[in-house]
Structure formats: C-alpha cells, structure tokens
C-alpha cells in the first residue's frame, strides 16, 4: 500500500494516542506554608509555581511547629488556600519542634490522619507527590497505587533508614532497620518516578532498587526562587544595618541548627578570631542551638550572634548581609542528605565556605562552579581560610559572580518547576 492510500486516523484514534493530562494531584508533606523553612519552604515554592502551570494541587500537611511568618502558629486555618494551592491540615500528636520522642509521635500520627484524608478525597486526585518527611508516609503512595491504580512520585530529601543510623538512634543490624530497608525498597519500586536532589544521593537510591527500575530515577536539584532572592548591596541592606555593627566581617550560617550539621568547628574558629572584627552569625533554630550557646557562654565569646528564623520577605537581605556563608554537613551524611540552603546563598551572590565532603553534591557544585572554598571541619583551618578571604576582596568578588551565574543557569525555581511539570505530566498521561 502506498503512503497516499493509508487511511487517515479518526478523531477517536488520535485521542487515544494523545491522552489528555489530568492535572489534579495531592501532595503529602508534613511541612508546608506558613512553615517556610527547609522542606516546607521548598514544597510551598514548588506547589505554588506548579499551580501557575495549571496544576490543581491539594496539600495534606500538619500544623506548623516553628519558623513561620505568623507569630501565632497554633491558629492557622485547618483548610485554606494559598496562591492557588489548597492546604488541608490533618490532626497529629506531638510536635516537630519538640524532642526526639515528640517528633517521632508527630511523624507517626501524621500517616493515619493523611490516610483517612486520602480515602475521603479519593475522587479528587489522579496522582500523588510524596516527600520523605515524614519517612513512613510513602507507604500511603504504595497503597493508593495498589488499590486505586494511581501513580505516585517520591521526592527523596533524606535517605532512610540510613539517616537515623547516621545519627546513632538506630543500629544498622536491628530488626527495625531491616524492616525499614524493606519498606523503603517497596516504596521506591512502587513509585512511577523517584526524584533525587543530588548525584551522591542517586548512588544510594540506585542501590535500593533493581537495575531495571533505575530509569525511573530523576535528578532534579533543589533551588531558590529567583523572584525573591537576589543580591542586596550593603548600603541598601536593612538587615545588616539592624544586626551588624559597622566594620564587622560577617560569617553567617542560616538554617536549621540540626544534628547533621557540623557547626561546633565554627565556635572554635570564633575563639581563634576574637578581636579581629569577625562576627559569626547563626540564624535559625534546632537541636544544636543550646549546645552552641553553651559553648559561647563557656568561652565568653562576644563575636558570636544568635538570631531566630527570619520572615521570608527578609530572606534576600539576610543572606546578602553575610560576607561569607557557611554550608556544612556532618561526616557520614554524604548522599543521605543534601544541604540545599546552598542555592539561596548562590542566589544572593555570597561566597560559600563549605564544611562538607568534596564528593557530595554540594561539594562537587562548589568545586565545579568556583563559588566558594571547601575546608576541613577544624576550627584552626576555618579561621585561617577566613583571614585569607578577608584580605582578598577580589577573590571574594570572583566567587560571588561565579555563584550567581551558576544559580541563574542551573538552580532557579523556574528551572526546577519546569522539570517537575514534565515528569508529572508524563505520570498523569499514563
């Protein structure tokens, strides 16, 4: 038969070959607006940007614990809409701002509450997006996929149970660790797609999945919102004027002061640099904050400053207030977690001091782009590096320019949302 004599496809046939995309999805994430830190900030930014791209998103989350723009976080609405995204807060016990037991209870109680909400609203969504916060919630994606045949995408922020093992709260040979490994493998193998946020993380996730499923793994790095985070000059920076005495050279760590962050060496560096005009500024909250404050008091340091989490509208000027920004990760966490605060630092044009593994995602990024310097987690080494950079403004400017250029090329929210839109569209059209 010649080409010209082939029958033309009917409209019905064409419709089958190009199915319409149903853009209704549910996002399961324990942290969300107004809890605009860490995962909560990234998921809020991603969901609202996807809403601009036509997605109808319902978020199942819990009551915020800390780090919000609302001073009264206990009274946020249980059902609200924020920038086109519907937010439903399911009831939980415990608190994410409490101790280990309280956090565990909060995470565990989130799962049955979210399960009930998914069941009641099963007619309102065609696909799911699930984060690893809390780590057990992926079981709901697997169950919904098995029962209702709806695909789910997993976004891996922390690799479990390796994260818990690295913190020393679980033995790698315990029955719980073995069960957790099997459950994680089940969740990953059942997912239609798995997003990892680092090359080092991808290696760990591939080990958990059979080779024939590796093509379901997608690398999408985290981001900063280019609409809101940009360099703010010192002479126009209200945050710096409010919190930094004139002439001080600011070393800033901004974010969660958690167990996985190598922060104690900064206190040792502060001791070595007393009287030099260097100010070490810690902005945030977390388990290590009381320990750091105790060290400062013990050594009588007047060149260390602690500030609470700042509102989102001050993020650009806060990050720009630093002369050097610290991004760190404890040894043993490489690939298990990725310190994504680095992307906001890039967006602000601030040079980075990286206290982390050169083989990790952020260590590789710093080396590849020239946006900063890697240093060992040693107070004396950090102090020497700071003195070198203080005396070399041209080098700092080169790192600043390199970081900002890399950000605009690779790490904007627009770029990340476009990649997520493509992956989710592929899932929804199946």
d(CA 133, CA 334): 18
**Token representation of residue 118:** 């998914």
For the question of whether the overall pTM of this predicted structure is more than 0.75, the answer is: yes
- Report d(CA 80, CA 400) in Å as an integer: 39
CA distance 416 to 424: 12
Summarised one tens digit per residue, pLDDT across range 177-210 is 999 999 999 999 999 999 999 999 999 999 999 9
Query: DSSP letters of 319-378?
Result: HHT-SEEEEE--TT-BTTB--THHHHHHHHT--EEEES-TTSHHHHHHHHHTSEEE--S-
Q: Pick the closest to residue 192 from 25, 50, 36 (CA basis).
A: 25
What is the DSSP-derived secondary structure letter of residue 173? T
Cα-to-chain-centroid distance, residue 362? 13
Six token digits for residue 424: 């989710």
Q: What number of H helices and E strands is found in the chain?
A: 16, 14
CB 397 within 8 A of CB 404: no
Quick count: other Cβ atoms within 10 Å of Cβ 364? 15
* pLDDT for residue 242 is more than 50: yes
pLDDT score for 3: 39
> What pLDDT digit, counting tens, does each position of 33-67 carry?
998 888 899 999 999 999 999 999 999 999 887 54
| Domain boundary assignment for the chain | 18-223+413-428, 234-410
SS3 letters across 34-74: CECCHHHHHHHHHHHHHHHCCCEEEEEECCCCCCECCCCHH
Q: Does 18-223+413-428 match 234-410 in CATH topology?
A: yes
Instruction: Report the topology of domain 18-223+413-428.
Output: Rossmann fold (3.40.50)
Q: Could you please report the per-residue DSSP string of 71-98?
A: S-GGG--SEEEETTEEEEEPP-SS-TTS
Burial class (CB in 10 A: 0-12, 13-18, 19+), 170: middle
Of the candidates 156, 204, 169, 217, the residue with the CA atom closest to the CA atom of residue 334: 204
Residues 34, 73: contact at Cβ < 8 Å?
yes
Give 256-295 pLDDT, tens digit per residue: 888 778 899 999 999 999 999 999 999 999 889 999 999 9
**CATH number for the segment(s) 234-410:** 3.40.50.2000
């Amino acid at each position: 038969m010649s080409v010209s004599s082939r029958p033309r496809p009917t409209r019905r046939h064409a419709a089958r070959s190009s199915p319409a995309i149903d853009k209704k999805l549910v996002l399961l994430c324990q942290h969300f607006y107004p809890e605009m830190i860490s995962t909560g900030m990234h998921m809020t930014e991603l969901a609202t940007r996807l809403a601009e791209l036509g997605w109808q998103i319902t978020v199942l989350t819990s009551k915020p614990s800390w780090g919000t723009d609302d001073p009264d976080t206990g009274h946020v609405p249980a059902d609200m809409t924020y920038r086109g995204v519907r937010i439903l807060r399911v009831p939980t016990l415990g608190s994410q701002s409490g101790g280990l037991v309280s956090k565990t209870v909060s995470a565990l109680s989130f799962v049955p509450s979210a399960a009930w909400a998914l069941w009641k609203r099963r007619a309102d969504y065609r696909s799911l997006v699930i984060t690893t916060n809390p780590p057990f919630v992926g079981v709901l994606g697997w169950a919904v996929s098995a029962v209702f045949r709806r695909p789910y995408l997993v976004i891996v922020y922390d690799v479990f149970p390796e994260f818990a093992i690295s913190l020393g709260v679980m033995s790698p040979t315990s029955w719980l660790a073995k069960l957790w490994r099997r459950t994680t493998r089940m969740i990953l193998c059942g997912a239609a797609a798995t997003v990892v946020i680092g090359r080092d993380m991808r290696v760990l996730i591939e080990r958990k999945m059979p080779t024939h499923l590796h093509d379901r793994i997608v690398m999408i790095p985290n981001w900063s919102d280019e609409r809101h985070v940009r360099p703010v000059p010192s002479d126009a920076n209200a945050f710096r004027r409010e919190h930094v005495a004139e002439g001080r050279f600011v070393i800033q760590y901004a974010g969660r002061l958690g167990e996985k962050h190598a922060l104690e060496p900064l206190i040792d560096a502060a001791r070595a640099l007393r009287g030099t005009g260097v100010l070490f500024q810690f902005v945030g909250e977390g388990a290590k904050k009381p320990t750091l404050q105790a060290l400062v008091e013990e050594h009588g340091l007047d060149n260390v400053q602690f500030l609470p989490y700042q509102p989102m509208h001050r993020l650009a000027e806060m990050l720009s207030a630093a002369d050097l920004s610290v991004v760190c990760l404890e040894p043993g966490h490489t690939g298990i977690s990725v310190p994504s605060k680095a992307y906001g630092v890039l967006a602000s044009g601030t040079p980075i001091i990286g206290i982390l593994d050169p083989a990790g995602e952020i260590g590789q990024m710093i080396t590849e782009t020239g946006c900063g310097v890697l240093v060992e987690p040693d107070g004396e080494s950090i102090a020497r590096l700071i003195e070198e950079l203080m005396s070399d403004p041209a080098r700092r400017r080169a790192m600043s320019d390199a970081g900002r250029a890399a950000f605009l090329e690779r790490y904007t929210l627009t770029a990340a949302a476009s990649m997520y839109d493509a992956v989710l569209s592929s899932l929804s059209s199946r």
